[in-house]
């Protein structure tokens, strides 16, 4: 759902983005990458807003504790500007909370003082980033992140989930003011932002002061492995009114899989990183491998695996409180892999209501050739009779006869209208109606399938349509085959490494020693 003034807002945001983005092309000649440019904008935007809040007539707020960093930069010239900027970044990196998160490990990447000066005075300096509220400026920043994600060479797209897909998922999950919402692999914060916007659009008039405070100060949280991306996420949330500059950072930085969660959530929304091989083995309750010096030891995990997606699904289960619900983007291999994958699926079916699977087409992610799905499940208390909590899995096939590209045919929110309607958000799943695209599978059928395969494309497919792969371009099919082969090889290498006697190097194995 969009706000009534969405069109003017979007138009103003786009105009601002185009203005800022035009300068990125100038800086590329100096070796400033897209990611670096957005990062520098993050620093300077924050300093400009801090200046605006400190110098406003009514209720001025001194965020930086007496340091008017923006005015210092605005007045400086040449080498003095470069030195002042570097010094300010170092000072702010030592701060705590959201402020420290935004400036952690910050560095000046714009080495030409004249170009830095233009960015400060002519572009960012001419806008009042605080005066028009968070909506337009937040939209502009979000659009800048999307622009950065389009640069495939920079790798930024791996942290950016298409916002139209996020919107459809959030519409299905219907977050409430009383939810505790977590994304353990939050990237630039898209899921968290969309959940907050949903709550504002649907509950704003009924929010109590306590609920507003809670939503702003900790009910919406994320975790991100990469420092630079966590910085973008923290700034993104702050520009949209989530969190406080001098308050606790709502974005934690580190490996989410490294240890069990210290707090739990009623709603988890996530698109964990794609790519199967993890640099470290994870031990589950089966504790099959003894190479503990190279591994996480997660006794709250069900299975041992180096597959990141399987580990993230296990981690998300542990993040959920009983009665909590999750929507997770996962690649195909999670649905059909044997070994740890099958064990994981059986445990999920046993201990959760795994109720919905959305099969996504290729071409919607910045990582090319990715076949992904969205798995929806609720964590429930174990049944007294020991039977699985899952009774029926509904599978929506949005893949067959569908193909999108990032340039010519982007996925839009209205492309998923039919799925959201079929999902019936907020209604009993007993009211769902089967269709050619949306089919239910009972628990008995799920458990008797080979490897408990959850892909479940319609068992009887119209032969006139052809297989889904027949509809893809040859290079997309080739990319997918290469990815599967690479994943399989990585899993075999990981297993071989785990089974190799300690102290025996790979080259010793190759020599036959």
* Pairing, β 181-183 against β 220-224: parallel
Is pLDDT of 466 > 50? no
* Residues 156-167 pLDDT 10s: 555 578 889 999
Query: How confident is the model at residue 199, as a pLDDT?
Result: 95
Query: pLDDT grade, residue 282 (50/70/90)?
Result: low
* Lowest-confidence region among 92-96, 358-362, 480-484: 480-484
304/194 Cα distance (integer angstroms): 33
Query: How confident is the model at residue 509, as a pLDDT?
Result: 45
92/104 Cα distance (integer angstroms): 8
Query: pLDDT grade, residue 81 (50/70/90)?
Result: very high
Query: pLDDT grade, residue 470 (50/70/90)?
Result: very low
End-to-end CA distance of the chain: 65
Please state the rounded mean pLDDT for residues 432-444.
95
Helices (H), 295-370: 308-319, 333-336, 340-351
* Residues 224-249 pLDDT 10s: 998 888 888 888 888 788 888 888 89
Output 281 or 12, whichever has higher pLDDT. 12
Is pLDDT of 460 > 50? no
* Pairing, β 320-331 against β 251-253: unpaired
DSSP tag of 364: S
Query: pLDDT grade, residue 49 (50/70/90)?
Result: confident
Q: How many CB atoms lie within 10 A of CB 362?
A: 24
Query: How confident is the model at residue 278, as a pLDDT?
Result: 54
Order of strands, sheet of 220-224, starting from the edge strand that comes earlier in the sequence: 251-253, 220-224, 181-183, 265-270, 320-331, 372-379, 352-359, 392-397, 438-442
Query: How confident is the model at residue 498, as a pLDDT?
Result: 58
Domain 155-185+256-475 has CATH 3.40.50.300: no
Please state the rounded mean pLDDT for residues 68-82.
94
* HEC assignment per residue over 127-157: CCCCCCCHHHHHHHHHHHHHHHHCCHHHCHH
Is pLDDT of 294 > 50? no
Give the residue among 286, 285, 302, 304 at the shortest CA–CA distance from 294: 304
Query: How confident is the model at residue 266, as a pLDDT?
Result: 98
| Most trustworthy range by pLDDT among 17-26, 267-276, 380-389, 401-410 | 380-389
Q: Are 195 and 161 in contact (CB under 8 A)?
A: no
242/254 Cα distance (integer angstroms): 21
Q: Would you give the distance in Å from CA 236 to the centre of its chain?
A: 13
Predicted TM-score (pTM) of the model is 0.81
Is pLDDT of 432 > 60? yes
* Residues 17-42 pLDDT 10s: 777 777 777 777 777 877 788 888 88
Domain 6-145 has CATH 1.20.1260.30: yes
Token pair in block for residue 7: 């069109």
Residue spans in the chain of domains classed CATH 1.20.1260.30: 6-145
Bridge-partner residues for 183, per DSSP?
222
Query: How confident is the model at residue 227, as a pLDDT?
Result: 86
Backbone dihedral region of 406: left (phi > 0), alpha (psi from -120 to 50 degrees) or beta?
Answer: alpha
Query: How confident is the model at residue 459, as a pLDDT?
Result: 45
Query: How confident is the model at residue 133, as a pLDDT?
Result: 54
Q: How many CB atoms lie within 10 A of CB 292?
A: 11
100/106 Cα distance (integer angstroms): 10
Residue spans in the chain of domains classed CATH 3.40.50.150: 155-185+256-475
Is pLDDT of 398 > 60? yes
* Lowest-confidence region among 77-86, 310-319, 445-454: 445-454
Phi, psi dihedral angles at 331 (to 5 degrees): -75, 165
Is pLDDT of 506 > 50? no
Give the residue among 114, 65, 110, 119 at the shortest CA–CA distance from 91: 65
* Lowest-confidence region among 157-161, 269-273, 292-296, 329-333: 292-296
Taking CA atoms, 476 is separated from 77, 161, 250, 264, 473, in Å, by 51, 19, 38, 39, 5
Query: How confident is the model at residue 251, as a pLDDT?
Result: 93
Q: H or E stretch including 439? A: strand 438-442
440/357 Cα distance (integer angstroms): 10
Q: Are 250 and 102 in contact (CB under 8 A)?
A: no
Helices (H), 178-264: 190-203, 209-216, 227-239
348/312 Cα distance (integer angstroms): 13
* Lowest-confidence region among 262-276, 336-350, 372-386: 262-276
Average pLDDT, the chain: 82
- As a residue count, the chain comes to 513
Give the residue among 385, 374, 370 at the shortest CA–CA distance from 325: 374
Output 269 or 308, whichever has higher pLDDT. 269
Please state the rounded mean pLDDT for residues 451-471.
56
């Amino acid at each position: 759902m969009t706000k009534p003034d969405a069109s003017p807002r979007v138009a103003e945001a786009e105009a601002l983005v185009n203005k800022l983005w035009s300068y990125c092309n100038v800086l590329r000649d100096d070796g400033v990458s897209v990611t670096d440019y957005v990062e520098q904008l993050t620093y300077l935007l924050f300093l400009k807003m801090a200046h605006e809040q400190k110098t406003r007539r009514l209720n001025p707020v001194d965020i930086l504790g007496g340091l008017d960093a923006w005015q210092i930069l605005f007045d400086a010239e040449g080498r003095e500007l470069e030195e002042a900027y570097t010094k300010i970044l170092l000072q702010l990196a030592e701060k705590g909370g959201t402020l420290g998160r935004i400036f952690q490990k910050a560095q000046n990447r714009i080495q030409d003082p004249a170009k830095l000066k233009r960015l400060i005075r002519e572009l960012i300096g001419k806008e009042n980033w605080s005066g028009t509220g968070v909506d337009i400026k937040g939209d502009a920043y979000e659009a800048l992140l999307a622009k950065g994600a389009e640069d495939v060479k920079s790798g930024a797209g791996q942290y950016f989930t298409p916002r139209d897909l996020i919107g459809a998922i959030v519409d299905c999950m219907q977050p409430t003011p009383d939810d505790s919402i977590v994304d353990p692999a939050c990237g630039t914060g898209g899921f968290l932002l969309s959940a907050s916007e949903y709550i504002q659009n649907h509950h704003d008039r009924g929010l109590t002061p306590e609920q507003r405070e809670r939503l702003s100060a900790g009910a919406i949280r994320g975790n991100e492995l990469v420092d630079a991306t966590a910085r973008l996420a923290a700034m993104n949330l702050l520009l949209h009114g989530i969190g406080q500059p001098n308050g606790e950072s709502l974005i934690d930085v580190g490996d989410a899989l490294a240890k069990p969660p210290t707090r739990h959530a009623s709603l988890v929304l996530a698109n964990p990183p794609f790519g199967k091989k993890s640099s470290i083995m994870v031990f589950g309750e089966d504790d099959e491998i003894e190479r503990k010096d190279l591994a996480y030891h997660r006794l709250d995990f069900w299975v041992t695996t180096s597959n990141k997606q399987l580990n993230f699904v296990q981690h998300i289960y542990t993040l959920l409180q009983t009665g909590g619900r999750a929507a997770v983007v996962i690649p195909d291999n999670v649905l059909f892999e044997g070994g740890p994958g099958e064990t994981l699926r059986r445990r999920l079916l046993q201990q959760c209501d795994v109720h919905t699977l959305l099969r996504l087409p290729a071409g919607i992610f910045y990582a090319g050739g990715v076949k992904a799905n969205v798995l929806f499940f609720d964590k429930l208390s174990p049944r007294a009779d020991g039977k699985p909590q899952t009774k029926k899995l509904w599978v929506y096939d949005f893949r067959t006869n569908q193909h999108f590209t990032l340039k010519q045919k982007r996925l839009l929110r209205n492309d998923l209208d039919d799925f959201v309607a079929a999902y019936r958000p907020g209604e009993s799943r007993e009211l769902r109606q089967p269709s050619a695209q949306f089919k239910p599978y009972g628990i008995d059928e799920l458990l008797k399938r080979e490897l408990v395969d959850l892909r479940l494309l319609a068992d009887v497919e119209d032969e006139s349509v052809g297989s889904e792969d027949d509809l893809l371009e040859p290079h997309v099919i080739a990319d997918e085959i290469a990815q599967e082969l690479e994943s399989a090889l990585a899993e075999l290498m990981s297993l071989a490494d785990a089974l190799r006697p300690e102290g025996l190097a790979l080259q010793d194995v190759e020599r036959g020693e």
